[in-house]
Structure 1
């Protein structure tokens, strides 16, 4: 995977992961809240059923109260009257009252006529619950609720049933009634189905929003990457061309200097020594003067070669440091142009060699600009350090320039230009600030601490 693809992956994957986590958390939270609401709804329905059972039981007890209160323990006529009343108290196809004695014998059952007269104490439902025994136990305790499975008259199928049992202790009877819970559970299941549908719909909506968003971000990143790559490629081509042009200009200048300076001087030396040789062979009186003129011409050629070598790479920069190199550069510039150059340094040489070279080249280019365009009489070079960060400023008292002036002068900065100076600084993450007006121009180069040479602690003796 290429670097730009890795960057895109690092940008897209956290976004996708975040959206997935947010979606999962939202879905989970919504599911929990909905499930809590459904559980509350189910509890409320069951509570309503319990209240309904208590009301129905109280209604039945009120219907038989007079007969029961006035009867004795063995009053069969009263018992028969109560059986008739309870048999007639039915409230719908699945609503009825039932009676068992404490021994488990059925007394009243309006829906299942085969039960009266038989003992059902050991009857168990499909879940193994001893239904009649537990209902009798609730009645003996003073009344209570019990849930079990029982055949539903309307559907002839087993269903969950909640019953309330109360005791008629004088007759040792258990009277009860119940409601089937399948309608409660069906409503709960319907609510759960609605919940699943709602969660599914929410997930689809989030997906329809998230996926296009991720694709949009991906497409935007791809477009930005391609756009930046095209810009970078364009800048790289321009920089490469500028480097090639600079190299050609430098080679042309060296060729010109060698041809017009060193080569001419060496030809003059050759002619001088040829003349001196002829005078010596002829024993001329002025042979010594001819030799002296040849020596002077040779010294001039040597100086030209030394100056050219100094411009290419000053040895003093490597041997004595930046301050000495700038001082030597200023002295040569002042001798050649007559423009006064002062160098002030209050900072030790702490920069890396590459950074020293960059500052030296910037100073070279700045002085070349001053010579060609500024019309200045004075140049001040100052080096100082601020909080461990090296600074260099080059200020002249010339006419200044504008962006239009620079654009009209292709050779404004000796073939490299201010942009190349800035690129030299940008290589070290430094900054080049240019301030110019009609009173002169000031260039300030500012290096970060990372441009300083690494220092090591002195070793203990």
Structure 2
């Protein structure tokens, strides 16, 4: 798995997890809220049903009160009248009254006549919930409600029912009535189904949003990948072009130096030798002079070859290290240009890798070459120091300066190639290059390499002025 794929995965996984967590939390909270709301509605509806039952019971008791109050405990005629009244008393579609004695014997049941005369104290509903005994207990306690399941007379379906029972103490009768609450349960189920549908719709919407987010992340990753590829291709083309330009520039420089110096010197040596040979043939005594001039020219040619070779790859950098190579470069520059040089170099800190040393040397070489060609300076300073943050090279001159922003503009072909090469060399080693210049204000070139480019760990190395050599040359 590539780094970009890992980055896309790291972007998608938290998105999916966060959306799943949010969706799950919303679903849980929604269900809890719905359960609480539905529970409150059910309680309110059941309380209304209970109040309705109490009212029906009060009406029934009022209907038999004139008989019950004037009858004795064993008044069979009064009991039969009360039994007849309650058996015929109805309310609603399925509302009726029933009577049981203290032993659970049914006295009146308008909808299930087969129960009359039977003992039903241990009767239970389809769920195993006792029916008669709890109603008797509530009635003996002064009246109360009992919930169970019972058959609806008009439909034959079994559903939840709430009964209210009271006791006619003088006769030992329990009078009860009940009301079915299937309408309340249906409404609660409908609300729950609606909410479940809404929750499912919301979950689907969140899934769609999550999928859209994943698609957007993936598309963004593809777009960024394509953009980076195009940018990398452009940079590669630009780098290739600059490498070719640099190679051609270096070849042109070497060609010019070979033609302008080595070739002319060798031509002068050839002329000196021909002149000496002519004088020898003529038997003249002054043939030694042209030979001496030719020998001097050969020494100059050898010196030029060494200089060109040193510019291509300084042997001091390989043999003695960065410190000595920079000092030799600065001294030779001062001797060649006649500029006043200040050199301060840490001599005992050649701990950089060979590649990093070459980079700093090339930066110094390019900076001094630019000073020689363009600066028209009188004084130049070269400082090399180190600290905990790495190695630092600073080259300054008091020349005419330039507009560093305009010169380093990468959009203008041919402008600032040297500065770009210096900056790219430093960036390759995670270093930095800072060029500060303004017209008439001189130029400062500061190059820094981090400690990661060191090949040895020599502990804390603070800048020590005694470890530097400072020389001034007029």
Partner of 1:389: 390
**CA, structure 1 residues 237+305, in 2 after alignment: closer, same or farther (shift >3 Å)?**
same
Q: Which residue of 1 aligns with 2:186?
A: 186
Change (3 A) 1:426 1:282: same
In structure 1, how many angstroms separate the alpha carbons of the residues matched to 2:130 and 2:13? Answer: 60
Aligned residue for 1:212? 212
Secondary structure of 1:198's partner? helix
Match of 1:325 in 2: 325
SS in 1 for 2:193: helix
| Gapped regions of structure 2 (runs ≥ 5) | 461-474
**Shift of residue 233 of structure 1?**
0.8
Q: Tell me whether 1:429 sits opposite 2:444 in the alignment.
A: no
**Alignment-derived partner of residue 439 in structure 1:** 441
Deviation (angstroms), 1:196: 1.4
Q: Displacement, 1:272? A: 5.4
- Counting matched residue pairs gives 456
Taking a change above 3 Å as real, the CA distance of residues 198 and 409 of structure 1, as seen in their structure-2 partners, is closer
Contact 1:433 1:443 in 2 (8 A): yes
Report the more deviating stretch, 327-336 or 25-34. Answer: 25-34
Partner secondary structure for residue 227 of structure 1 = helix
- Which 10-residue stretch deviates more, 341-350 or 319-328? 341-350
**Alpha carbons of structure 1 residues 61 and 429: separation in structure 2 relative to 1, 3 Å:** farther
C-alpha spacing 1:59/1:446, structure 2 compared with 1 (3 Å): farther
Give per-residue Cα distances to partners, 1:164-190, cap 9 Å, x unaligned: 233333322222111212112101110
Q: Which moved more, 1:241-250 or 1:160-169?
A: 160-169
The ranges of structure 1 where at least 4 consecutive aligned residues each deviate by more than 6 angstroms after the TM superposition are 273-284, 406-412
Say whether 1:42 aligns with 2:42.
Answer: yes
The 1:345/1:179 distance shift into structure 2, 3 A limit, reads: farther
TM-score of the two chains, using structure 1 as the length reference: 0.86
More divergent stretch after superposition (20-29 vs 191-200): 20-29
Q: Equivalents in 2 of 1:410, 1:274: separation in Å?
A: 49
Q: Shift of the alpha carbon at 1:15?
A: 2.6
Distance 1:284 1:32, change over 3 A: farther
Give the Cα–Cα distance (whole angstroms) in 2 for the partners of residues 410 and 376 of structure 1: 27
**Normalised by the size of structure 2, how large is the TM-score?**
0.84
Cα distance in 1 for residues equivalent to 2:7 and 2:302? 57
- Give, in whole Å, the separation in 1 of the partners of 2:304 and 2:268: 14
RMSD (CA atoms): 3.3
| Change in 2 beyond 3 A, CA 1:66/1:212 | same
Do the aligned partners of residues 68 and 281 (structure 1) sit closer, same or farther apart at CA in structure 2, a change above 3 Å counting?
A: farther
**Native 8 Å contact 1:373 1:412 kept in 2:** no
CA distance in 2, matches of 1:217, 1:29: 29
SS at 1:398 equivalent? coil
Q: Which residue pairs with 1:99 in the alignment?
A: 99
- Offset of residue 299 of structure 1: 2.2
User: Could you say which residue in structure 2 is the equivalent of 1:80?
Assistant: 80
Q: 1:280 to 1:22 in 2, by over 3 A?
A: farther
Query: Match of 2:360?
Result: 359
Q: Deviations over 1:98-133 (max 9, x none)?
A: 111122222122333343333333433322344223
Match of 2:380 in 1: 379
Aligned counterparts, 1:278-293, within 5 A:
292-293=292-293
Q: CA deviation at 1:283?
A: 8.9
Pick closer, same or farther for the CA change 1:422–1:66 going to 2, 3 Å.
Answer: farther
Judged with a 3 Å threshold, the aligned counterparts in structure 2 of structure 1 residues 280 and 30 are, in CA distance, closer, same or farther, namely farther
Q: How far did 1:305 drift?
A: 1.8
Quote how far apart the aligned CAs of 1:306 are.
1.5
Match of 1:296 in 2: 296
**Aligned in 2, Cα 1:386/1:61: closer, same or farther, shift over 3 Å?**
farther
**Matched residue, 1:334:** 334
Q: Report if the CA contact (8 A) 2:19-2:210 is conserved.
A: yes
Contact 1:369 1:412 in 2 (8 A): no
Q: Distance in 2 between matches of 1:388 and 1:213?
A: 43
